[in-house]
Amino acid sequence: MHNHIIGRRLEQKILKQMFSSNQAEFLAIWGRRRIGKTYLIRKASYDSKEIFFDITGTKNGPLKEQIKHFTQRIGSVFYQDANLTPGQNWDEAFAMLTKALQTVPNNRKIIIFMDEFPWMATKNSRILQVLDYYWNQFWSQDVRIKLIICGSSASWIIEKIVNSKGGLHNRLTKTMMLQPFGLSETQQFLVNNGIKLTHKQICELYMCVGGVPYYLSKIEKGLTATQNIEQLAFSSTGFLLNEFKNLFSALFDAPEDYIEILRIISKHRYGIGQETLLKKMGKTLQGKTGLRKLDFLKDASFILSFKPHLHRKKGIFYKIIDEYTLFYFHWIEPFIHTVNHQGIVQGYWSALHQTPAWYNWAGLAFEAICYKHIPQINKALHLSPTALATSWRYIPTQQSQEQGAQIDLLFDRIDDAITICEIKYTDKPFSIDKAYAEKLTTRLNIFKAKIKTNKQIFLSFISANGLKKNLYSEELVDSLVTIEDLFKNIN
């Protein structure tokens, strides 16, 4: 097993600067459950000479229990495991911590790491008001102190800490949102765990679990991607069977609302417009309430919001880009509600693996992967970093006889050109036949006619396993991006 930090170069740089600075620091860090927030903070501070005071909130834990644990950590870190009497409230607990800080020599910096802080904020606890007071009155004046507030509940951290309109407003010195690993980091993680798989195998794992380190830690050496997924999702003890609801319960209040929103979005492969989505979400989730929940899902990296190219007046659209969510809705949730779940037959996922339904889902999941690897695609196409990555669609009116068109991804470039990308996932090099060539030509013609541009149009294929050379590929395709390009580390 690896014992160092994989990737996270920017985050490590921020933490290093923070720990070495000569001023008080206040960092808020958030990211979905299992993403590695706690691991990052602990490892980043492991070799430092700072005093490290850490406390983790207890989900659904009563106020008395939370304060008891807090007091025990004070005794352990600052008083050689002394058994201290817990305070009656957070004010007394924070006063006890402030007093303990004074026992630390002036040349020692102090990291205060409050993990799963939202769980410590129980009803009527007033912990936010107390934190506000002690930070502003005492801790922010002490250049030794580096305060880190961490939580899986992205919505809570953003609303209560980052965008606080109370005493914590503009008090943060740094913020950090921890994202899932990309393909390159995923490969590094697996290699460090002794697992050496081909890019194709890793990609198929990524389609199901994404780049969430904890999920990747469940991958077993000596098994293929298919065997691992079958074991994790389609066995009686499969970890991924019950993880979905646990994930959303940890992230959000009223998790069922967020799951229902994602379920609606998942039925629209090319995205769903905000206005249509809000109507489908029901009365209790319409208006500002629904928009806030969509923002929280976006902040937690479950969905992508975008405005189709040259159709911005049509407003915002949403797509799911979280691989595990797509995998769950397409395969696990239906499976749970069938007889198969009661008597699981070995080879279930392997049998599905070659079906048209599997390829249709794999195409959708591969699109989500591509949206997360835009920098790699940009570099493979030798484009400027200023090229605008977006999508495009044309939906004719009901009375019209015109044909609609959808473009997965395009780059609007500043060098008087537009690169249109066709995204394909197949086991073998994709082959363009006559019918598909005609379909592509029609789509390009509709695009040119509707956007009325004089820019040069280039067609690129993002094909996981390459493109078969033939008359049609030579005539139509200007460039190719493969799975190998998506694995490149561009930092």
d(CA 192, CA 227) in angstroms, rounded, equals: 20
Give every CB contact of residue 51 below 8 A, 6+ residues apart in sequence.
77, 78, 104, 108, 109, 110, 111
Buried/exposed code over 185-199 (b: 16+ C-beta within 10 A; e: otherwise): bbbbbbeebebebeb
Helix H, strand E, coil C: the string for 367-408 is: HHHHHHCHHHHHHHCCCCCCCEEEEEEECCCCCCCCCCEEEE
According to DSSP, the residues that pair with 53 across neighbouring strands are: 112
Read off the DSSP letter of residue 41. Answer: H
Buried/exposed code over 313-333 (b: 16+ C-beta within 10 A; e: otherwise): eeebbbbbbbbbbbbbbbbbe
* Among candidate residues 40, 54, 334, the one with its CA nearest the CA of residue 185: 40
Please report which helix (H) or strand (E) contains residue 202, including its range. Answer: helix 199-209
C-beta separation of 178 from 11 below 8 A: yes
**Which tokens go with 140?**
């922010």
Q: Do domains 9-177 and 374-486 have the same CATH topology?
A: no
C-beta separation of 297 from 303 below 8 A: yes
Any idea where the domains of the chain sit in the sequence? 9-177, 184-367, 374-486
CATH numeric code, 9-177? 3.40.50.300
**Rounded to 5 degrees, what angle do the CA atoms 35, 37, 39 make?**
100
d(CA 298, CA 305) in angstroms, rounded, equals: 7
- Averages of pLDDT over runs of 10 residues in the chain (491 residues) are 78 93 95 91 80 94 96 96 94 98 94 95 94 95 96 86 82 93 96 95 97 96 95 87 88 88 91 90 81 89 82 76 94 75 70 89 93 96 93 82 88 95 95 96 93 93 96 97 93 67
Count of Cβ atoms closer than 10 Å to residue 472 Cβ: 19
**Rounded to 5 degrees, what angle do the CA atoms 302, 307, 313 make?**
140
Phi and psi of 408, rounded to 5°?
A: -60, -50
Count of Cβ atoms closer than 10 Å to residue 334 Cβ: 12
d(CA 151, CA 160) in angstroms, rounded, equals: 11
d(CA 57, CA 115) in angstroms, rounded, equals: 6
Architecture of domain 374-486: 3-Layer(aba) Sandwich (3.40)
* Among candidate residues 278, 296, 274, 295, the one with its CA nearest the CA of residue 287: 278
| Residue whose tokens read 């720990």 | 19
**Rounded to 5 degrees, what angle do the CA atoms 319, 248, 171 make?**
90
Q: In what order do the strands lie in the sheet with 317-320?
A: 272-273, 317-320, 303-306
d(CA 370, CA 464) in angstroms, rounded, equals: 10
Q: What is the chain's length?
A: 491
Quote the crossing angle between the two packed helices 239-251 and 225-233, to the nearest 10°: 70
Helix H, strand E, coil C: the string for 62-120 is: CHHHHHHHHHHHHHHHHCCCCCCCCCCCHHHHHHHHHHHHCCCCCCCCEEEEEECHHHH
C-beta separation of 112 from 53 below 8 A: yes
